[in-house]
Structures are given as structure tokens and as C-alpha cells.
Structure 1
Amino acid sequence: METVSRLGVVGCGLMGSGIAEVAALGGTDVLVAESSPEAARAGRRRVEVSLDRGVCRGKITEEARDAALARLAVTDDFDAMADRQFVIEAVAENRDIKTGIFKTLDRVVTDPQAILASNTSSIPIVDLAVTTQRPTQVIGMHFFNPVPVQALVEVIPALTTSPDTVARTSAFASACLGKEVVQATDRSGFVVNALLVPYLLAAVRMVESGSARAEDIDRGMELGCAHPMGPLRLLDLIGLDTAQAVAESMYEEFKEPLYAPPALLRRMVAAGRFGRKSGHGFYEYAA
């Protein structure tokens, strides 16, 4: 089985930068594509800051940081992805945006054996696969935030995905990224979010109904159930806008009321209160 030595990542936000960082630290040549020169520079800076933090905390050496940065390039030219053996899309949880990216990658990436993967949290992989001329080589890879810390990746084959693509993707995740792999079926929410999202939305409904304060809900779950982070702090970390998009996708597929975004969540997103990234969600955060 051929080892992946040239990885492409589309998007360099929280998830894309984390994927790029882990791959570069693992010895892979990484090219990150962003939508503009400014976004590309900001993405590289995000990786640099994270690696510097790792050095300060004694997690990695200065030599490892410098070597990882030497393996990392950023661009706003999607045509530069032509020589990639494996490409992971990690942009906003929006079906139209992701579909457009997969159509572009299918046209640009020249290696007929290249795998195209999506870091979607909830969009059916088959919907992305059928927009390409290589549906057997399209697969889901759902990482968790923060990618350099979280050990898990969900690998999600579509109905169209070949067994070879599943095997190559799982091997890449384990050998090159150092992740533990669980395989999920192509159902919105996969394994983790199918269980997690109803729990998070239930916490929002408790706040909405006045049953409990956010602080008490989180403290109760942290101390009473040994959760490392309460549900509302976790929502702030994930991003309330992302959580709403995931919940809407799951509700669209299953029409189960427990997946429907509560009115409070919708109002907070409409007000721009996305959580940590906006400085205000269920809690306030320093700039």
C-alpha cells in the first residue's frame, strides 16, 4: 500500500490548521489551500502559533517545530493541489460550499488514485461523492477539536466508496496522523455526533426553559458525570453556528425532534454569539 507523502488540506481554520499541523509533524509534505492570500497567511500563522505553544509546553522540540513548518506551504491557488495524493476538505459546514470544492478538486487533482476526503460533521458523504468523477475514492474523515490533542478520527465510507479507499484512509490516519480510527456508516451525525448532539441540545433547552443556569449545568456534568467539559462550554468551543448547522443537517435527515435546534440556539447564532471564536456564547471570553 503506497504511503501518502503529499497531503492537501482545503481550509485553514481551526480544523484545517490542526490537520495540517499534525500531518506536518508526522513527516508529511502538506499544502494548504485557502480562499485568499490574507486567509492563507492567517492560516499559516495559526499553525505557527500552535506549534510555538507546543514548544513552550514541552510537547515538541524546537527542531520538530522547525521541521514541521518546513514541510508546510499555503496557497490561494487551488490548481497547486494537482500533485496531491490525498486531499482533506475542512471548510465551513455548508453543503453548497463543500460540493463546489469537491467539484474543483476532482478537476484539479491529477493522480487517478488520489483520495478526496471531507471533514464534515454531518453532511452525507455520498452527496459529495456523486459530484465527482471518482466516487469510489471519496470518503469522510471526521476529526475532533482540537485536532492536535484529540486522538480520534471517524472514517466514513459512502455507498460508493471502495474497500481499497477505506483501507488506505484508515492506514493514513493511523500511520501518518497518529489517530485512532473508528468506522461509521454514512448517516448524518455518524457515531459521535449522533450521541453528542441531542445531549448538547438538551442542555440548551434546560437554559431556555429556566430549569438551570449554564454554570450549574456544566458543573453538574463535570463533577457528577466526570465529563472533562460541560455541554455548554463544549458548545462554545465547537461554535454555536457549527452546532446549529450540524443539528439542522441531522434533523433534515431523520426528522427527530431531539435533533431540532432550540430557539435559543438560533437566536444566539443570529446575534453573532458563536462562542469562543466570537468572544461571547453561553460564557464571555477575553479577546
Structure 2
Amino acid sequence: MVQEFHKVGVVGLGAMGAGITEVFARAGFEVTGVEIDDTALDGGRARVAASLSKAVDKGKLTGHEQTAIEDRITFGTDRGALADADFVVEAVPERLDIKRHVFTDLDRICPPGTILATNTSSLAVTEIAALTSRPGKVVGLHFFNPAPVMKLVEVVGTVISEPGTVELAAEVAKRIGKTPVVAGDRAGFVANALLVPYINDAIGLYEHRIASREEIDTAMTAAAGVPMGPLTLADLVGLDVCLAVLDVLWAEFRAPRYVAAPLLRRMVAAGRLGRKSGRGFYDHTREDVAEDLPAGRLAASVRGGELDFGVADLLLARHIDDAARMVGDGYADADAVDTAMRFGCGYPKGPVELLMERGPDAVAGTLGAVADAHFAPYAPSPLLAAMVRDGRSSPHAPS
């Protein structure tokens, strides 16, 4: 069925939409990119051109290939141009009122067989699908930024997805060179539901002066080999985005795990959003200066090795246990969890792999030690507790 697809539409040409447009055009599809007005359209066109030119400069594309890709893209401000599209991806801002307008419009314009995909990272796909007369043909297709580079695409089905729709969307993801992870419609899906609470934990450590921002980031890059620490990553993602995801997770699960750190909420209110605003946890407008180390008792205890855990242990134990909870809940299997975090977040090892490497006893022991020190009372997930009880080293069900 994928081979029958010829024309793809992309609505919204911001950083993500422009990247998605480029990805489809690179894969040989004819793409129509649509924006709200000429100013936004010019910005989208410039983003695509700049990205392709950068690829040519790096020797990843030839000038001839760049021209061929650009020739496959049509830009416009009229959504009516999508009337013959086979597959349309929405990439507008994360506001349901904006998406409601887009999907109502697309439902009216596109043929009944056209699959409509939303790139939402946090909103309920089911709620978006219900805005149309074809809810069974609406899926989540969550790309990661920058879309031309990041390999992961989360393909999200709903309880009303028609048979074959999710599978077809996953095939499309493969056709454009991505690694799909299929997930159900649950807040945060796989990657954000694991990544953002971990970032929030790091913000909490910083807020309570347990470690400096450099200590937190350096500890995690050293312990887990991740490409950047959680506070640097928060600045890159955008603190407003992190807060929005946490609020969606809280609204769905009402679990203390998803309560945003007060510092995060205050920084967003103050307009300190990270790289996009110039300042977040770091100052991106100039060469930043390392902070003084926190001098409080808890900070000294963690730094001085008086406790059975360090900064990285504080963060990794809960992060790994979140992954075990997700697997134990049956939302995603271990391979899907690790694939999502490796291809979507640049992890060299996924959290389940880290669980098996560190051992369930060690992870559960750290959680217990943290609770005993009154840092954060936290009961291990049922799966982790069962692994410890049964002496199992793997979260996979015994054969």
C-alpha cells in the first residue's frame, strides 16, 4: 500500500514541519507544504533550503540531489491544494484549538481514504481523531527534532483506529528512513513519558541545591553516556515544552511523579525557556560561567560520598524504574522502550538495558537508600519488585 502513495501534505512549516517536509521529499514523495500566511510560508521555505544547503556543505547531498528534492516540494497557503493528498501530517503548535481548526478543514478537503496524521507530542490522538468524520484514519506520527536527523518516529494508534491504519503508518515511517515504535494513545507516549520526568527530577535536585547544574549534567553524561545532561537537554527542548508535557502527564495520571518542579514553572513564567529565549538553566547569549558548588548539608553528603548514592544514582534509579513500570504495565515492551530512547533521545543504552546492566537489586537498593535519606520516598514499580523477589535479571517474561 505504501507504494501507492504519491502525494504527501504537511500543514505547518515551523522547525518540525519543515523538517518533516524535507524528510518526505528526500524519500521521493511529492510534498505540498502549507502555512497560514505568506510570512510563515517564507520562513518554512527558508528552513528547508537552509537544511538542505547544510547537508550539501557537509557532503551528505550533492547539489543535483538538493535541486531534485526541492523540485518535489510545493509551498502554499491554501489547504485546498491537499485535496488529492494520500497522506497528510499536521505539525502546527501544541494547542487543541489550533489542531481542531486544521483537522476540521482537512476532513472537509481531503478524500475519505486519506490518512491524517498528527505530530502531537503530548495531546490525546483520540481526541484529535474525534474531531473528524474519519476517526479510524487518524494516527499519531510523532517525529523528533531535528526531523531530518533523528531516526525515531512514534506511531500512535487509538481505540478507534481502523485495521491496518497503524501498520500502514509504520510502513510509511520505514519508507522515509525512520525507525517506528508503535504505541497506544497514552499521555507522553514512550519517549516523553520517560524523558521529561527524568528532566524534572534533575530540576528538583538543582532547585533544592543538592548539586550544581554542571555537577548534574556531568554526572549523567559520565554515568550513562548520554549526549548531554538533563539541564542542558531541558534548555535545548525548551522549558515551556517540558512543563507542557508534565502538565499533560499529570492531567492524565494524577500521580505525584508528574508534578512539575516549582522552579520549572517559575522559569517558564519568567520567560527563561532555554535556547529559544537565550537563557534557561544556562546563559546562551554569552560564554557561561560555572556556578559555585552548593554548600548545604545534603549537597555535601552527596558530593562527599557519605551516602550510598551519588547524583547520577539519584536520577538514574527513578528513570530506570519508570521504564520498568511502563514495561510492567504492558504499554510497551522492553525492546520498544530501549529503541525509543536510543533513537529518539540519543541514548547509547536504553533504560531497560541499563536495568539489566546495573541489576534489579542495585536499582531497587538505590531507590530504598534515597527514601531512607528522605530525598524522595518512592516505591519501586511492581515489575522491579518482582524481579528482585524472583531473582530475575531480565524484565522479559520467562519462556
TM range (shorter): over 0.9
- CA displacement at 1:135 relative to structure 2: 0.5
Distance 1:270 1:196 in 2: 22
DSSP 3-state at the match of 1:160: coil
- Please give the residue correspondences for 1:1-287 in structure 2 after superposition, counting only pairs within 5 Å: 1-3=1-3, 4-109=5-110, 111-175=111-175, 177-286=176-285
- CA displacement at 1:147 relative to structure 2: 1.0
Distance 1:213 1:2 in 2: 50
Asked if the contact 1:184/1:191 (under 8 Å) is kept, the reply is yes
Distance 1:274 1:77 in 2: 33
DSSP 3-state at the match of 2:83: helix
Asked if the contact 2:38/2:77 (under 8 Å) is kept, the reply is yes
Q: 1:192-214 CA distances to partner (integer Å, 9 max, x unpaired)?
A: 11211110111111111111222
AA matched with 1:90: A
AA matched with 2:157: P
- CA displacement at 1:107 relative to structure 2: 1.1
- CA displacement at 1:153 relative to structure 2: 0.5
Q: Please list every run of 5 or more consecutive structure 2 residues that lacks an aligned counterpart in the other structure.
A: 287-399
DSSP 3-state at the match of 2:41: helix
Distance 1:178 1:91 in 2: 23
- CA displacement at 1:183 relative to structure 2: 0.6
Q: Please list every run of 5 or more consecutive structure 1 residues that lacks an aligned counterpart in the other structure.
A: none
- CA displacement at 1:75 relative to structure 2: 1.7
Q: 1:114-147 CA distances to partner (integer Å, 9 max, x unpaired)?
A: 0001111111111011110000100001111111
Asked if the contact 2:2/2:172 (under 8 Å) is kept, the reply is no
Shift of the 74–286 alpha-carbon distance from structure 1 to 2, 3 Å rule, reads: farther
Distance 2:118 2:157 in 1: 11
Alignment TM-score, normalising by the size of structure 2:
0.69
- CA displacement at 1:286 relative to structure 2: 4.5
Distance 1:148 1:121 in 2: 17
Q: 1:15-73 CA distances to partner (integer Å, 9 max, x unpaired)?
A: 11111111111111111111211001001101111111111111221111111111112
Distance 2:250 2:263 in 1: 17
Distance 1:186 1:37 in 2: 34
DSSP 3-state at the match of 2:164: helix
- How well do the aligned residues superpose, as a CA RMSD in angstroms? 1.4
Q: 1:230-284 CA distances to partner (integer Å, 9 max, x unpaired)?
A: 1111112211112211111111000112212222112222222222222222222
- CA displacement at 1:100 relative to structure 2: 2.0
Distance 1:158 1:181 in 2: 16
Which is further off, 18-27 or 1-10? Answer: 1-10
Q: 1:156-175 CA distances to partner (integer Å, 9 max, x unpaired)?
A: 10111112211211111111
DSSP 3-state at the match of 1:163: coil
Asked if the contact 1:203/1:232 (under 8 Å) is kept, the reply is yes
AA matched with 1:153: V
- CA displacement at 1:2 relative to structure 2: 4.6
Shift of the 171–223 alpha-carbon distance from structure 1 to 2, 3 Å rule, reads: same
AA matched with 2:253: F
AA matched with 2:245: V
Asked if the contact 1:17/1:47 (under 8 Å) is kept, the reply is yes
Distance 1:203 1:256 in 2: 18
Q: Which residue of 1 aligns with 2:294?
A: none
Asked if the contact 1:143/1:153 (under 8 Å) is kept, the reply is yes
Distance 2:2 2:143 in 1: 23
- CA displacement at 1:218 relative to structure 2: 1.1
Distance 2:279 2:63 in 1: 34
Distance 2:283 2:12 in 1: 27
Q: Which has the larger radius of gyration?
A: 2
Asked if the contact 1:93/1:242 (under 8 Å) is kept, the reply is no
Distance 2:254 2:35 in 1: 34
Distance 2:101 2:71 in 1: 30
Asked if the contact 1:15/1:145 (under 8 Å) is kept, the reply is yes
Distance 1:274 1:32 in 2: 28
Distance 1:74 1:264 in 2: 41
Q: How many residues align?
A: 285
> 4+ residue stretches of structure 1 with deviation over 2 A?
284-287
Which has the bigger relative contact order, CA under 8 A and spacing at least 6? 1
